[in-house]
Structure 1
C-alpha cells in the first residue's frame, strides 16, 4: 500500500508539472520527434495502448518496469524494423540481462533512417548535385527492479543525437516508469514519464548563398525535448491455459501536442498464437484501427517470438512493423 500511495503522489506531481491547460497544444515546439516513433510491432498492433501490458522486450521503450515480467531466462533480445513510405525506416535493437529474480539491466539502440536528401539552395531549388544524410539516434541503458510482488519500477538513461547536414544536436534524457498489479480481477496499471531532460542548443553552421557573398548562420535557438506523460490500465479478461484475452486503455499527454487516448486488445491461444487490434483517439494521424499478430515458439534453448503490426495513418499511409524476440 505504501508503494501505491507513492505512485499516486508521483503521478499527481508529474501531471501538475507537465499537463498544460486545455487549448494550449504547443504543437511543433520540440525537437527529437523520432523518439515518438514506436519501435515494436506488438504495441503497434494494439493501437499503442501498451504501457500497462508491457511484459516483453518492448518494455525497454515503453516502461522499463515491465522488464520485471520477463521469463526467468538469463538473456533476452529484440530486433525490430518499422517501414514508412518514401523509403523511411526505423531500426531498433535491445538486449536485457537478468542479474537475479528481482533485477534486470538492458541496453537499446534506436536509429531512424530518412535516407539521403538533395541539398537545395535559393538559386538551385531542385538541388545542387550534393546530398546529405540525416541521422537520428538514441542509445539507452535501463534498470528494472522488483520491490514487492505487486510493485516494480524502471529507469532508462538515453543519449540522443540528431545530425542534419552540418548541424548537430545531442542531449541526455531519462525515462521513469512504475507498474502496479492491483490484485483484483487480474488488473494492473502503470505510469511512465519518458524523454525528460533539458533543452539544448544545436551546433554547426548553415551556409546561405546570396548574390554578393555567402553568409554562414551559426546562431540557433534552444531545442525542447518531447516529454510524454502516460497512464495505462490493463485487464486480463481471460487467463486460462487455452485462451488469454487482455484489454488495455491508455492516456498519453505530450508536452508538445494535444492529449490522446488509446485502447487495445490482445487474444492469445495456448500462449502460442496472438491476434491484436487497437485504436487511437483524439489524433489526426490514426485513420484506421491497427491490427497485428504474433507467434511464440518455445525451443530447447529458449523462446522465439515473431510479431507483426499494421497501422494506416493519414498523410503517411501504411506503416508496417516486424519484430523478433529471443530468450536464452
Structure 2
C-alpha cells in the first residue's frame, strides 16, 4: 500500500513539475527585459493537437495513460497492445467553434486490431474542414470562394515487452490545403505536405489495489508529430509542425462490476 501511494505521488509530482517548469537562463550578457519576453512558436496544422474523441475531450484532453480503446493511436500508440478486444473501431464527428461559425467540423475514424497476445496495429484518418472562405484582393474584390481542409492518415504498431510494459510507434502523412492554389501576395500557393512519427511507451499494473478496492495504475509517454517542416509557397519560410511531448498517469478504482472511478493527469511540453 505504501509503495503504491509513493509511486502514484511520484508520478503526479513529476508530471506537475514538468508542466510548470521554466526555462533555465544561461550566463549570457543580454538585456534583462528580453529574457522575460515570450518566444511563442507558431506551427502549421494545429488541428493535429485537437482531441478527436469524446472520451478524452470530456476529461480535459487527458489520454496518454487511460485504459486502451479504439482511439489509442492518437493518444499513445503503445496502449494498443493491451487492447482487450481483437478489433476495435471508433467514429467521431464534432462541429468546431459552432458558437462562432456553422460550417467548421472535425471528423475522425480509427481502428485497432490485435495481431496476437503481444502485438497490435492501428490505422486512423482525421479530416478537418475550415468551412467556406472568400478570398479577396487588396481592394476587396472577390477572387474566389474556397473550402480549406486538412487531413492526416496514420498507421501504428505496438509491442508488449512484458506483461506490464509496452512500446509503440506510428507514422503520419499530413496534407493541408488552405488556399486552393490562390496567389498570396504575388506568390503561387500550394497544399502543405509533411510526414511525421510518434514514439511512445505505456506501463500498467492491474493489481494496484487501494484498501479493499481493486485498482489499476498506469503511466504513459508519447512524443508525437516528430517530422519535417512544411510550407505553402516556394518562397515563404517553412513552418514547424506541432511536435509535442505528453506525460501522464492514471489510477482507476473498480467500484463494482459496472462502475469505476478514474483519476488522470497529463502534462504537455
- TM normalised by structure 2 equals 0.76
Of 149, 153, 159, the match for 2:167: 153
How do 1:6-25 residues align onto structure 2 when only pairs under 5 Å count? 21=23
What is the distance in 2 between the residues matched to 1:146 and 1:239? 28
Whether the 8 Å CA contact 2:71–2:111 is kept in 1: the answer is no
Task: Decide whether aligned partners of structure 1 residues 136 and 146 sit closer, same or farther in structure 2, where only a CA change above 3 A counts.
Answer: same
In 2, Cα distance between the equivalents of 1:49 and 1:121?
43
- Separation of aligned partners in 2, 1:55 and 1:80: 17
2:83 and 2:114 in contact (8 A); partners too: no
What corresponds to 1:77 in structure 2? 89
Number of the residue aligned with 2:51: 38
Which blocks of at least 5 consecutive residues in structure 1 are unaligned? 1-7, 204-217, 254-328
Deviation of residue 94 (structure 1)? 1.0
* Greater displacement, 227-236 / 192-201: 192-201
- Alpha carbons of structure 1 residues 247 and 62: separation in structure 2 relative to 1, 3 Å: same
Give the counterpart of 1:49 among 45, 62, 67.
62
Structure 1: distance between partners of 2:85 and 2:162: 17
TM-score by length of 1: 0.63
Counterpart position of 2:110: 94
Deviations 1:2-55 (A, max 9, x none): xxxxxx9xx9xxx8xxx8727675435211111011100000111112210041
Q: Which has the higher strand share?
A: 1
The change in CA–CA distance for 1:138 and 1:26 in structure 2 (over 3 A counts) is farther
**Which of 123, 126, 151 lines up with 1:137 in the alignment?**
151
Q: How many correspondences in the alignment? A: 221
Which residue in the other structure is 1:61 paired with? 74
Match of 1:320 in 2: none
Q: Is the 8 A contact 1:54 1:62 kept in 2?
A: no
Root-mean-square deviation (Å): 2.3
Given candidates 169, 172, 186, the residue that maps to 2:192 is 169
Q: 1:179 aligns with which of 179, 197, 202?
A: 202
Q: 2:142 maps to which residue?
A: 128
Counterpart-to-counterpart distance in 2, 1:247 and 1:65: 20
In the TM superposition, what whole-angstrom CA distance separates every residue of 1:95-132 from its partner, at most 9, and x where no partner exists? 222211111111110110011211111111xx516212
Going by fraction, where is helix more abundant, 1 or 2? 2
Structure-2 change in CA distance of 1:170 and 1:190 (3 Å) = same
**1:210-265, Cα deviation, whole Å (9 max, x unpaired):** xxxxxxxx511011111111110101133531431111011111xxxxxxxxxxxx
Instruction: Spell out structure 1 runs of 4+ moving beyond 3 A.
Output: 22-26, 182-185
